[in-house]
Amino acid sequence: MAPRNTPSLVSRLWVFIRPLKWILLLACILAGMKAMSGLGLAAVSRWLLNNYQSLSTQELFRIYGGITLFLVLLLITTYFRVYFPAYIASSVIRRMRRQLYRHLQRLSADFYAQHQTGEVVSRLTNDITLAQLLYSNVIINAIFDAIILSTAAIYLVLSYPFAAYAPILGTCIVYGVLMSFFLPRMRTRSRQVQEEMGKITSEVSEKIVGMKVLQSFTHEEIAGNVVDERLESHFFESLRMARLQSLFSAVGQTLPEFAKLLVIALGIYLILQARMTVGDIAGMILVLGHIFFPLRRTASMTAEIGTSIGSMDRILEFFDAQPSVTEAAEVVSLPSLSGRVEYRNVSFSYAQDGESRVLHRISFEVEPGSQIAFVGPSGAGKSTIMDLLSRFYDPGEGQILIDGVDIREMSLEFLRKHIGIVMQDTILFSGTIAENVRLGNPEATDAEVKEALENAYAMEFVTKMSGGINSRIAEQGKTLSGGQRQRIALARMFLKDPRIIILDEATSALDTESEQYVQQAFHGLKSGRTTLMIAHHFATVKDVEYIYVVEEGRIVEEGTMMELMEAGGVFRNLYDSQSAMLAIESTYPV
């Protein structure tokens, strides 16, 4: 995505800073006071040097006493002039992180399919941290510097001949030209540096999550080499950025010194012509400090400016991402659901152009309280069928209806509240067992949590833990076995009490004992609810009422298990292949 133009970026930045506009105004007033105070001191110094011979000692003491009192007030003003920008920057970054995270929660599954987890985390953390410089060191300082430069320019024009301040005017013009040349290039270069950092974060995150696999395959060296390549790429992009910044900084910091020498040379010439005094030149040199300080600061901060703007571009790119799954302008309100599911000629493709379809004209009906199963080889499209029911994606063609209502006409909250999903890879979060179970119902009491765990056959191991339901578990439930994690996930479903249950190969990775517990829990969970099951183990579908066989995105067979066995088609072949494999495993156990 190309960097935004400056007016567009400024307008987007203002959206975040607008709630703090009064504090910003106060900071600007303080900045103006500090700028005027500096010029006031320069003017007083100029007057003293030109008139000190006519002043008495008592008058000088009074003047210096007033200057001392003024400096105390300046100290207090400077404190708040520095504190308010820091407060504004921290407040804006907090708001930006909160809004970006909430926005990310609204985005659809296709967004996360296109972006690695590490990249998303990098923009939410690293990029926003770098963007903080844009508010604390760039925007506020730019306002402050503009006030200083404008007031200093007015003072010079009203107090000095043009010949004296011509070098200063020329230096400011050259600075403007340099900024217009270097900043767009540094912005582009900084974006490339940040993109490389995002790739490093993604690569490292992926490797850390899969560290056990890497170690089991003694793949550490190869994985390390991949990370090294990312680090090298980031290193070279950083060097290119540093060369660009160093060039601008060198030129930008040398120009003021050259301008100062010209001012002194012209000042001596004007003194010899009796057009200026030594006090005038001394006062002008003090003013030069106020003018050249913001210019030097800009030169030294070009890298930070480019990095901040590049990071802001990347953040706004995520803010501009829109969910592909959206709610209708007017949603249909239903008092409840009975759980009747119908697919009508549903086709789907992950590609936006509709090519390479994953599903082809899928149609079936499920009566309330019925239990059906989808079987077929891996990659046939079974999980995609289930993802469409919860509207993680929307079909390219056709309709999906629940109780005769197109699910696109329902609110997402209402739809997903009435659908429970138990996946093969159970996701648990760091925290207590009770907190994980309460995902099903945040308002549930401890008694209700325990009842849900009992129904999921999980209390038998939870009671043995030191904290009971308040026992803490590690990230992703790593301290629990696969069967234990699955039973906690089932407890969430009991607490949620949905009308429709999706079981996505929920027992395929469990041992025999764990599978027995989970199957018992499934029996209670499925009772009275519409259940759609994806199964690889055909033993789990013997009790379902109807089976759909999916192959290459199409329903190629359907019927009861007995009917499909007698038909001798795809289902029978899959069943026989699995039976043969089980026979081999029982004969030659691992």
Q: pLDDT tens track of the chain, all 590 residues?
A: 555 555 567 677 778 888 888 888 887 777 777 766 766 676 677 677 777 677 777 777 777 777 777 777 777 777 887 788 778 888 888 888 888 888 888 888 888 878 777 778 878 887 887 777 777 666 667 777 777 777 777 777 777 777 777 777 787 788 778 877 877 777 777 778 877 877 787 777 777 766 766 765 567 787 788 888 888 888 888 888 878 877 877 777 777 778 778 877 877 877 787 777 777 777 777 777 777 777 777 666 666 676 777 778 888 888 888 888 888 888 888 888 888 999 999 999 887 665 678 899 999 999 998 889 898 888 888 889 999 998 988 998 999 999 999 999 988 888 888 888 887 777 788 788 888 888 888 888 889 988 888 888 888 888 888 888 888 887 777 778 877 888 888 888 888 888 898 887 655 555 555 566 666 766 767 777 888 988 777 777 777 889 999 998 899 998 888 888 888 888 888 878 776 555 554 544 44
> What's the confidence (pLDDT) of residue 300?
65
Are 110 and 392 contacting, i.e. CB atoms less than 8 angstroms apart? no
Residue 419 DSSP SS3: strand
> What's the confidence (pLDDT) of residue 217?
59
Closest CA to 422 of 496, 484, 502: 502
Which segments of the chain belong to CATH 1.20.1560.10? 6-320
Q: Give the C-alpha separation, 433 to 439, whole Å.
A: 10
Q: What are phi and psi of 48, to 5 degrees?
A: -65, -45
Beta bridge partners of 375: 549
Topology of domain 425-497, CATH: Rossmann fold (3.40.50)
> What's the confidence (pLDDT) of residue 588?
43
Q: Give the C-alpha separation, 279 to 269, whole Å.
A: 14
> What's the confidence (pLDDT) of residue 585?
47
Q: Say if strands 341-348 and 359-366 run parallel, antiparallel, or are unpaired.
A: antiparallel
Q: Give the C-alpha separation, 165 to 175, whole Å.
A: 16
Q: Give the C-alpha separation, 203 to 226, whole Å.
A: 8
Please spell the DSSP secondary structure of 239-305, one letter per residue.
Answer: HHHHHHHHHHHHHHHHHHHHHHHHHHHHHHHHHHTTSS-HHHHHHHHHHHHHHHHHHHHHHHTHHHH
Which segments of the chain belong to CATH 3.40.50.300? 425-497
Q: Give the C-alpha separation, 547 to 533, whole Å.
A: 9
Topology of domain 6-320, CATH: ABC transporter transmembrane region fold (1.20.1560)
Rg (CA), the chain: 35
Q: Give the C-alpha separation, 518 to 503, whole Å.
A: 11
Residue 81 DSSP SS3: helix
